[in-house]
Structure formats: structure tokens, C-alpha cells
């Protein structure tokens, strides 16, 4: 029997929380920590009315107890009374201590399951001291408490200030209605058909499993029995991504930049993903896409994501390998756990995945759009769209090879696209170091030999891919001769090492010769390619081997024995999940399929499939395997199709040009035809977007690019610079050096970005040293370039804009920097500004998120025109800023009322931005009496009427509370008004009597009076 006293106490606690939420619902001015008694004293005058509230709370508590007790008794009547009482009282303790200050948790439309999860998060493991059965009582009681609490909050009506006494009387007389409502409170729900009491237990088990299974990195090139146990999270190497993001309207808080959207050039991939909620991650074969998803899953499972990805913690990762769903239905949520936690997937509580998706507590990591047939990708897009329509708060990363999905493929569904860049010299050096450490050979002769060989430009180009860099390390370890000069030779030697040399060196006899292994693997790879698959069921692989054996007279072993041998000893086949067979990397599949196509002279089949992106690498490598006659026939067929099929012509022409990378011998006529085609149809690129596809040709595009930018439009010239830069080879430097003589702004901007792709010293010497720049201006976004800027002879204005994901601790990096005119950086430290006093040309300074500032007086001698400082919390003396007569734009973050007053009168300020400052309208008007632009970001009520005195033309209001927009009608000069999360009566009608030219509103919010506004008023929306 469940102890009645414990259940009554639980009911009383629930009723108390509900009553507090009810009273707080009407007024925002209540302190969220106020007690029920304090709230009652404010709202109810006189002890009689307060007593009515007390009686109501007591009665609700009794009613809740009467409903909860039978539910617990029915399920756990066999639990000893003292244990059940302890479990229920533990729930009471949790509810009495829980922070329910988030108004959404107990709003009229509150979700009981979200509330239960919040409570469990604040008090994890509270049932740990209970017995196993008592712990189950605790979980059920907590779920029921949250459900009843939400039901009571929904039951209590809204009221006006004068009507509370009447409402109390009516509620007292309608006790039976609450009884009926509570009686209908479900023990289960649509998203929790079996309750939620096992959710946290399974969640913990699932996260442990994901972390253990995926936190492993295989060193490609080492056989399975030589693989060290290498933790992915230890060996993980952060790479960079570039461009491709969807252009959106800027968030109003980025008003200083005045730039619509920022492309993610050279941004760490973690930062690019962390800034977004939906990302399409594109990359070439072996660029690290799958490794990144596994790393995200492991770090999320352990709650160890940091920096820009910190907000992704607390979300359960679900990795969906599309290769495993190339046929049949795409997985619905209940099947998500099966892709990386198959052994425990069936233990998931019913509806568990749906509950996480609905609450926004899941991340979906979808790997390999390119690994499903092209005809099926539309189904993948529809599958994603329907999932996100049902569960819009899920964070999603989707990966694909670049050829399979362009940057706009998922743009309509809110995805931003970024592309993994090749590893730069620093990345390669770290990769080589970690590879040898993992192979337990740090600092060995093999590592030293590898580093010396990487001095050769052609090997550095190959090593830009993590996959090829791993192959190079493995080959260097196995052979002490010179490494391959191209990737076809690299693949050939890597296969030889995996198929034969390791066993031979260790004296292990094989059932098959190297050639015989290749025959079987080629056949299997070709069959997979023809079927547009990347894996087969094990029985199907066995059938293919058995079908091939009659054509191999020297092989006597049974098919099953050979299958097992290939799986265990080839190093090329693997069984990632029981019963499914694939190649250790898709690159080997494509290389072997291409070899089979040429061996069997399937030229016509290759031409027929050349328009498919899944066949791109197979066709390119087939040209590398082919004789001169075969290569000429294949490329002639591709070029003929390009002329006959306009809709796919660009893809086919790019493919033909890309094949020149691997071709060893070809007829002069076909070569001349390709050269003419590239010059006439592909270069110079007409826009930056075209450079993405042009990059597929590789470094050979350099031979087709013009030697000068003369005669090209600025857009074409900028795109040509990017096309050369994307090759990232030293051969591009002389050409970029000639392009650098063009002083047009967009050309120079592309050169700034190109610096990231090359050795900083070489680039500064060979490209920038003699460049005229654009009006002598150079902008950099990394401190590693600073030591080289002195080589730029035309430099007259250096702008250093450091990204938020690379915060600085101090200003030592500015020492000795020449011609510094603009500086922008983020920091979490106290910044001493005194060292900036020597930079006499500094006109723009922006510091974000610093803990505070010293040495502010040193800025007084500088010709600053724009100053942005954050945070100024606790700093009351800002007088040195008030004395800066050259300032025209001022942005202050978290400044105090005293600090703003200390500015004095700054009549020279034309634009002021006050971000989360303690705003006193009077002090703002006194400080900036002639401001034409004002940006207020303020979390408290604001009296707009005081700003009527200012000659405002531009006004941005963010996160503020105002009564209405009537004051705007008295701002005669106001031309532009922007509203972002402004709490007011939502009525825009007053704006019809203004001279406004532009109004900007938050997308998706509803307003009154839009139809009454002037047709000439331009209305736009923050996206």
C-alpha cells in the first residue's frame, strides 16, 4: 500500500507550482523566485481572499493525490511501503528544488514530457539510492507529477486584475470539472505509449554504446590484425570548409558589418556547423566526411562538444548510413538507433526517438547522399523534408560528395552548404605525426623519410586528402623507395601492399595470388557499380565469387573458403555490420571497377553512364587503366554526348577534362579536341559559382586559364583567381602573381582568401609582394599572416579581422604590425588597449565579448572613427571614449547607466548602438544628441517617447519591451525602422502616419495593421 501522506505531499507540491505559474502568467514584473504567499499578497487584498486561494490549492492537491495514488498502486503494489514512500518523497524533494523559471515549461500550451526531461536534467540520478523497484516507482511518480501539473495549469483560466476574486469563487464551485479533467490525465500519451520511465536509462546505455563503437579510427593501409586501438577523438584533425552557404538577410545584431551573409571561407568545419542548425557538408572522396560525422556523434554522446558546437551538447546523435538504405524504405525514426547501435536498438522504449525529435533533443547525422543511386536521391530529399516538417527543431548534418549534391540541393529546406577543403601544409604535418604515433612509430626513420618526401610538390598535392595521405604514410612504411607521383600509381601500390606484400613479408601463405585476388575483387566492384550500390549482402557476394571461379582455371578452393580469405586477409573487403560486405573505402571500389571495365572493354557502358555523378571517378580512373585506343574511344564518346545533350553538357565536358589527370596515352586529335573544348566552353569561369565545378579538373585547369585578367569583367576576373587558387599547388603561384597586378577590388578580395591555400611565406613573396592591391588595402583574418605582411610593398592600409572562433588573449600579436588601420577580434579576457597607442593610423576598432578593458585612455590619441567595445560590465568611467572627437560610430555592450553618463555630450556621434546596456533614455539623449542612427538591444521596458528629441533617421529595436509605436509618429525624420523580438501590442497601424521608407520585421511573426500601411513603404524581413 502506497503511503497516503507521501502522495498527499506530492499533490500539494504540484498544486503549489500550478498556482504560482497561474499568478505569474499575467504579469511579467513578478520575480520568478517569488513564493506563492508573496504572489497572493500582491494579487489578493485581504486575508479572506488569500484564504480562498489557500483552500483552492489544498483542494487541487487532494484531487491530484486521489488520481496519482491508484496509478502507482496498480503498477507497484508489491513494493514495500517504506520503499514506495521514499520514492514518492524523493519526487517531492525534486519538485520543491527544481527551477521552473522558464515560462515555457508551465505555459498554457506546456508539454508534460518536455517538463519531465527538464526536471530529470536538473536532478540526475536522484533515484540512484533507491532499490531497483523503488526507482521504477520514482520514475512513474515523476512522470505522473509532471502530467498532472501541466493539466492543472491548463485548467486554471486567464483573468484580469479585477476579476481574480470572482475567478476564485467560480473555481471553488466547479471542483467536479477538475476531477473529471484529472481523471483523464493519461498514464501514457501519443509520443509515450508505454510511459517514459525507461527513457533516461536507455538514453545512457545508447550514448555509451555509440561512443564506444564509433570512437575508433582505422589506419588505412594497415591490415586488420595490425590495427592499433586508436581513439577517433584523440586522433581527430580539424579541417576547414569554404563557401557555399545560403545567402540570408543579416541578423540585425550584425549591423556593424553591413554585409549580407558571410561565406565560410577557410572556417574550421566545427565552427561552420555550430553556426547553423542544418548543414549539407560536401567533399571529395577521402576528404573526411564520415570521420567528421563519427566524431560529432562520439563527442555529443559524451557531452564534450565545445566552442561553436557547445549548444549541440545534450542532443542524442543518430547516425544514418544511407548506403545501408540504398534499397527499400528509408528509415523512420524508430529505426534510427539501428545504424550504429544495432545490438541494443530493440531495447529502445516505444516512441523514444520520436520524443527526442519532438523536443529538439536529437541530432541527425546522415552520411553518404552519393552512396545511393541518383534516381533515389529525390526520395532522400523528400524523406528529409518530411522529417523536418514533423520535427523542425532537430539539428541535421548531411554529407555528400560534391558531384552528387550541389550547394543548393537542400537550400529550399533551410540547409547551408559548406565544402571541405584539402588539408594545408600544417594539417598534413599534423596528420603525418598522428599517423605515425598511432602506428606506434613516433619520430621514427619512417616518419622522417615521409616528411622529407613531402617536400616534393606533387606529393604535397596528393597528401591534401586525408585518405591519400594515409595511403602515402602506409606505403612509405612498407617501402623505402620513392613514393608514387600520381594517384593512379598510389592506388596501385596501396592495393599491392594490402593484397600481397604484407603477407609475403611476414611469410604468410595465401590461397590466391595477387593477380587472382584482383580478378575476384574487380568483378565484385564492377557488379556493385552496375547495380549502383556500395555494398552487397554476404550471400550475394558468395554467389558472385562462385560464378566467377569457372573462369579461373588455376584456382581450386571453394568459393566459401575464398570469400572468407578475401574478407580476412585482403585488407580491401570488410563486413561493417553482420551480413553486409563492402570495400574498405569507396575509392578502391571505383579503382577496381574501372580496371574491370577496361579489362572487359566495357567502353560503351562507361560512356552510357558518364552523366551520372556516381560514375565520375570510375570513368576518370578507367582512362588511367586504358590503352591509348581505349582512352581515345572513351573520351570521344563522352565529348560526343556533350554535344548531343545540352542539359548535361557541362558535366560531361568537365568529366572529359578531368580525365586528362589519369590518361597516360591518347590520340593527339582527341587531346586537341578537349583543349579546344575547355578553352571555348569552360574557361574563363563566368562566376564564382562556376569555379566549384571547374575545380574538379584539378591542377590541370591552370594550363587553360588566361595568363592575364585583361579584358575580363570584374566578376570573371575574380572567378578566374579563385579557380587558380582552388588548385592549392605551388604551380599556381606564378599565375596568381600575374593576376595580383590587377587592382580591382573583387580580384584583390579573392587573393586575400587564396592566401589560406598556400604556404604563407611563399604566397607573400611570389603573389602579394609587388601587387598594387586595391588602393593599397589588404585584409587578413589570421594572425599567421602578420609576420609576412611587411613584404607587401604597396601596403598602405592593413585590416585585421579575426574570426570569433579564434579568440585572442592579448594584443601582443599587433606588435610591429605595419600600417594597421582596422582591427576586429573576439576575446574572453581583460584586454589592455594601451599597446594600440603606437598604431597612429587606426580608424576602426571592434572588440567583442572581452571580460573588461584597461588602458582605454591610449585610444584618445588615435584617429578612430568607429569603436565597438564589449563587454563593459562593471566599468563606470567611460570618459576617455567621450573625449574621442573623431568618432562617428560607437557600439557599447553591457555599459552601465553611470558609464553612459560619463561619456558626456558626444554630438559628433552619428550612429550609436547600445547592446544589453542599462539604458536610461535621458542619458542616451544627453550623450548622443545628434545621432541619426540608434540601435537599442535591451531586455527591459523602454520609453520611446524620450527619443523623439533625437534627429533619428534609422532606428533598430531588439529584445525590448515598449507599449506601442505611437512615439514613432513623432519622429519626423525617421526613414528606416527595424524590429526584432520587440514585445508590444503588435499593432503597426500608427506607422501609417509616418514618413518611413523601409520597415524590417522578423520573419514568421504576425502583426496587426499591415494592410493600413502606405503602399510605398518597403517591408522586408529578417530571415
Give the CA distances from residue 185 to residues 31, 64, 153, 513, 734, in Å, rounded to whole numbers and listed in that order: 30, 10, 13, 71, 75
> Quick one: pLDDT at residue 763?
96
- Greatest Cα pair distance, the chain, in angstroms, is 104
User: In terms of Cα–Cα distance, which of 664, 736, 687, 678 is closest to 707?
Assistant: 736
User: In terms of Cα–Cα distance, which of 916, 595, 693, 633 is closest to 900?
Assistant: 916
User: Cβ contacts of residue 525 below 8 Å, gap of 6+?
Assistant: 583, 588, 589, 590, 591, 592, 593, 596
Strand partners, 845: 823, 867
**Degrees to nearest 5, angle at CA 268 with 263 and 269:** 85
> Quick one: pLDDT at residue 180?
61
**Degrees to nearest 5, angle at CA 398 with 397 and 402:** 130
Residue written as cell 476564485?
A: 168
The grid cell for 351 is 516512441
Structural domains of the chain, with CATH: 4-168 (no CATH), 206-245+267-421 (3.40.50.300), 423-483 (no CATH), 775-931 (3.80.10.10)
The stretches of 174-288 forming alpha helices (DSSP H) are 175-183, 199-214, 232-235, 269-274
The stretches of 309-456 forming alpha helices (DSSP H) are 342-345, 352-358, 377-390, 425-438, 445-453
Concatenated DSSP letters for 738-774? HHTT---HHHHHHHHHHGGGS-HHHHIIIIITT--TB
> Quick one: pLDDT at residue 326?
78
Checking DSSP bridges between strand 830-832 and strand 797-801, what pairing results, if any?
unpaired
Contact status, residue 889 vs residue 909, Cβ threshold 8 Å: yes
Helix (H) / strand (E) element for 401: namely strand 395-401
User: In terms of Cα–Cα distance, which of 552, 258, 268 is closest to 421?
Assistant: 268
CB atoms within 10 A of CB 784: 12
The grid cell for 414 is 533551410
End-to-end C-alpha distance for the chain, whole angstroms? 57
User: Cβ contacts of residue 464 below 8 Å, gap of 6+?
Assistant: 422, 423, 424, 428, 728
CB atoms within 10 A of CB 97: 11
Q: For residue 871, is the peptide bond before it cis, meaning its omega torsion is within 30 degrees of 0?
A: yes
User: Cβ contacts of residue 549 below 8 Å, gap of 6+?
Assistant: 555, 559, 562
Contact status, residue 115 vs residue 106, Cβ threshold 8 Å: yes
C-alpha 541: how far from its chain's center? 38
Give the whole-angstrom CA distance, residue 663 versus residue 487. Answer: 12
Give the whole-angstrom CA distance, residue 138 versus residue 88. Answer: 6
Identify the three-state secondary structure at position 980: strand
User: In terms of Cα–Cα distance, which of 779, 825, 818 is closest to 802?
Assistant: 825
Could you tell me the mean pLDDT of each successive run of 10 residues in the chain, 1023 residues long? 74 78 54 52 62 74 82 81 89 79 54 78 76 84 83 61 51 55 56 70 92 80 55 81 51 40 62 91 87 94 90 94 87 92 90 91 94 87 95 95 86 92 85 82 81 75 82 79 81 81 51 90 96 91 95 92 83 82 88 97 97 94 97 98 95 94 94 95 90 82 94 96 90 96 97 91 96 97 94 97 89 96 95 96 96 93 95 91 96 93 96 91 94 89 91 94 91 95 90 93 87 92 75
Give the whole-angstrom CA distance, residue 996 versus residue 999. Answer: 7
Give the whole-angstrom CA distance, residue 1017 versus residue 1000. Answer: 10
Amino acid at each position: 500500500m502506497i503511503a497516503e501522506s507521501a502522495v498527499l505531499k506530492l499533490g500539494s507540491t504540484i498544486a503549489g507550482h500550478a498556482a504560482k505559474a497561474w499568478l505569474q502568467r499575467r504579469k511579467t514584473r513578478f520575480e520568478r523566485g517569488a513564493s506563492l504567499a508573496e504572489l497572493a499578497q500582491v494579487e489578493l487584498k485581504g486575508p479572506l481572499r488569500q484564504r480562498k486561494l489557500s483552500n483552492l490549492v489544498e483542494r487541487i492537491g487532494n484531487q491530484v493525490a486521489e488520481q496519482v495514488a491508484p496509478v502507482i498502486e496498480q503498477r507497484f503494489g508489491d513494493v514495500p511501503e517504506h520503499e514506495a514512500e521514499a520514492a514518492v518523497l524523493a519526487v517531492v524533494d525534486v519538485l520543491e528544488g527544481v527551477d521552473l523559471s522558464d515560462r515555457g515549461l508551465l505555459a498554457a500550451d506546456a508539454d508534460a514530457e518536455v517538463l519531465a526531461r527538464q526536471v530529470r536534467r536538473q536532478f540526475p540520478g536522484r533515484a540512484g539510492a533507491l532499490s531497483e523497484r523503488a526507482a521504477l516507482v520514482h520514475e512513474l511518480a515523476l512522470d505522473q507529477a509532471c502530467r498532472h501539473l501541466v493539466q492543472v495549469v491548463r485548467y486554471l483560466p486567464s483573468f484580469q486584475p479585477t476579476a481574480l476574486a470572482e475567478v476564485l469563487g467560480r473555481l471553488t464551485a466547479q471542483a467536479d470539472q477538475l476531477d473529471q479533467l484529472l481523471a483523464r490525465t493519461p498514464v501514457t500519451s501519443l509520443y509515450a505509449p508505454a510511459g517514459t520511465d525507461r527513457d533516461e536509462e536507455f538514453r545512457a546505455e545508447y550514448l555509451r554504446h555509440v561512443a564506444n563503437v564509433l570512437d575508433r579510427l582505422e589506419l588505412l593501409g594497415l591490415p586488420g590484425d595490425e590495427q592499433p586501438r586508436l581513439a577517433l577523438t584523440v586522433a581527430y584533425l580539424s579541417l576547414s570548409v569554404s563557401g557555399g552557404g545560403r545567402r540570408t538577410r543579416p541578423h540585425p545584431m550584425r549591423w556593424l558589418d553591413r554585409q549580407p551573409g558571410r561565406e565560410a571561407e577557410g572556417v574550421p568545419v566545427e565552427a561552420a556547423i555550430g553556426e547553423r542548425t542544418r548543414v549539407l557538408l560536401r567533399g571529395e572522396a577521402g576528404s573526411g566526411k564520415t570521420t567528421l560525422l563519427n566524431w560529432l556523434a562520439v563527442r555529443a554522446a559524451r557531452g564534450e562538444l565545445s566552442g561553436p558546437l557547445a549548444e549541440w551538447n545534450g542532443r542524442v546523435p543518430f547516425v544514418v548510413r544511407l548506403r545501408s538504405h540504398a534499397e527499400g524504405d528509408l528509415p523512420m525514426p524508430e529505426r534510427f538507433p539501428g545504424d550504429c547501435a544495432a545490438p541494443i536498438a530493440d531495447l529502445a522504449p516505444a516512441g523514444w526517438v520520436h520524443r527526442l525529435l519532438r523536443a529538439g533533443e536529437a541530432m541527425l547525422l546522415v552520411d553518404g547522399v552519393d552512396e545511393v543511386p541518383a534516381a533515389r536521391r529525390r526520395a532522400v530529399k523528400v524523406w528529409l523534408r518530411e522529417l523536418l516538417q514533423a520535427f523542425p527543431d532537430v539539428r541535421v548534418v548531411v554529407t555528400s560528395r560534391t558531384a552528387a549534391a550541389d550547394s543548393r540541393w537542400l537550400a529550399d529546406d533551410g540547409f547551408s552548404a559548406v565544402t571541405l577543403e584539402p588539408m594545408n601544409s600544417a594539417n598534413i604535418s599534423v596528420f603525418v605525426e598522428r599517423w605515425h604515433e598511432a602506428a606506434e612509430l613516433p619520430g621514427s626513420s619512417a616518419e622522417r623519410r615521409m616528411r622529407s618526401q613531402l617536400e616534393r610538390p606533387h606529393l604535397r598535392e596528393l597528401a591534401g586528402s586525408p585518405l591519400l595521405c594515409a595511403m602515402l604514410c602506409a606505403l612509405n612504411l612498407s617501402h623505402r623507395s620513392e613514393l608514387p607521383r600520381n594517384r593512379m600509381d598510389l592506388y596501385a601500390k596501396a592495393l599491392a601492399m594490402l593484397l600481397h606484400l604484407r603477407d609475403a613479408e611476414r611469410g604468410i601463405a595465401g590461397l590466391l595470388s595477387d593477380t587472382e585476388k584482383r580478378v575476384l575483387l574487380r568483378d565484385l566492384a564492377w557488379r556493385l557499380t552496375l547495380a549502383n550500390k556500395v555494398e552487397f549482402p554476404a550471400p550475394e557476394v558468395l554467389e558472385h565469387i562462385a560464378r566467377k571461379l569457372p573462369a579461373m582455371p588455376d584456382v581450386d578452393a571453394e568459393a566459401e573458403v575464398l570469400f572468407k580469405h578475401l574478407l580476412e586477409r585482403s585488407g580491401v573487403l570488410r563486413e561493417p555490420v553482420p551480413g553486409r560486405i563492402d570495400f574498405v573505402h569507396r575509392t578502391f571500389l571505383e579503382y577496381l571497377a574501372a580496371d574491370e571495365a577496361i579489362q572487359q572493354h566495357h567502353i560503351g557502358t562507361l560512356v552510357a553512364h558518364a552523366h551520372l555523378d556516381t560514375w565520375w571517378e570510375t570513368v576518370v580512373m578507367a582512362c588511367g587503366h586504358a590503352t591509348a585506343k581505349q582512352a581515345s574511344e572513351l573520351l570521344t564518346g563522352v565529348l560526343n554526348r556533350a554535344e548531343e545533350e545540352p542539359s548535361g553538357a557541362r558535366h560531361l565536358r568537365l568529366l572529359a577534362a578531368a580525365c586528362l589527370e589519369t590518361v597516360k596515352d591518347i590520340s593527339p586529335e582527341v587531346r586537341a579536341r578537349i583543349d579546344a573544348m575547355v578553352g571555348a566552353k569552360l574557361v574563363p569561369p563566368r562566376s564564382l559559382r562556376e569555379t566549384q565545378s571547374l575545380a574538379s579538373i584539378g591542377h590541370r585547369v591552370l594550363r587553360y586559364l588566361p595568363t592575364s585578367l585583361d579584358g575580363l569583367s570584374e566578376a570573371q576576373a575574380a572567378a578566374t583567381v579563385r579557380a587558380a587558387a582552388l588548385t592549392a599547388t605551388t604551380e599556381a603561384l606564378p599565375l596568381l602573381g600575374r593576376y595580383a597586378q590587377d587592382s580591382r577590388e573583387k580580384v584583390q578580395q579573392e587573393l586575400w582568401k587564396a592566401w589560406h591555400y598556400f604556404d604563407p611565406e611563399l604566397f607573400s613573396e611570389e603573389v602579394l609582394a609587388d601587387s598594387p592591391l586595391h588602393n593599397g588595402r589588404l585584409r587578413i583574418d589570421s594572425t599567421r599572416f602578420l609576420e609576412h605582411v611587411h613584404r607587401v610593398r604597396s601596403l598602405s592600409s592593413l585590416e585585421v579581422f579575426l574570426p570569433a572562433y579564434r579568440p585572442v588573449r592579448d594584443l601582443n600579436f599587433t606588435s610591429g604590425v605595419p600600417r594597421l588601420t582596422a582591427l576586429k577580434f573576439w576575446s574572453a579576457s581583460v584586454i589592455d588597449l594601451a599597446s594600440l597607442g603606437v598604431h597612429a593610423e587606426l580608424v576602426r576598432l571592434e572588440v567583442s565579448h572581452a571580460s573588461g578593458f584597461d588602458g582605454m585612455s591610449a585610444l584618445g590619441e588615435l584617429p578612430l572613427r568607429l569603436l565597438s567595445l564589449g563587454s563593459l560590465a562593471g566599468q563606470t568611467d567611460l570618459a576617455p571614449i567621450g573625449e574621442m572627437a573623431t568618432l562617428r560610430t560607437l557600439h557599447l555592450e553591457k555599459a552601465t547607466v553611470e558609464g553612459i553618463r560619463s561619456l558626456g555630450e558626444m554630438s559628433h556621434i552619428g550612429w550609436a548602438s547600445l547592446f544589453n546596456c542599462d539604458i536610461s533614455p535621458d542619458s542616451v539623449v544627453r550623450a548622443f544628441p545628434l545621432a541619426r542612427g540608434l540601435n537599442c538591444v535591451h531586455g527591459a521596458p523602454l520609453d520611446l517617447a524620450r527619443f523623439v528629441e533625437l534627429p533619428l533617421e534609422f532606428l533598430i529595436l531588439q529584445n525590448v519591451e515598449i507599449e506601442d509605436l505611437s512615439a514613432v509618429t513623432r519622429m519626423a525624420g525617421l526613414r528606416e525602422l527595424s524590429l526584432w523580438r520587440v514585445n508590444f501590442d503588435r499593432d503597426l497601424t500608427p506607422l501609417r502616419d509616418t514618413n518611413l521608407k523601409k520597415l524590417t520585421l522578423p520573419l514568421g511573426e504576425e502583426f496587426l495593421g499591415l494592410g493600413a500601411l502606405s503602399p510605398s513603404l518597403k517591408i522586408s524581413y529578417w530571415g
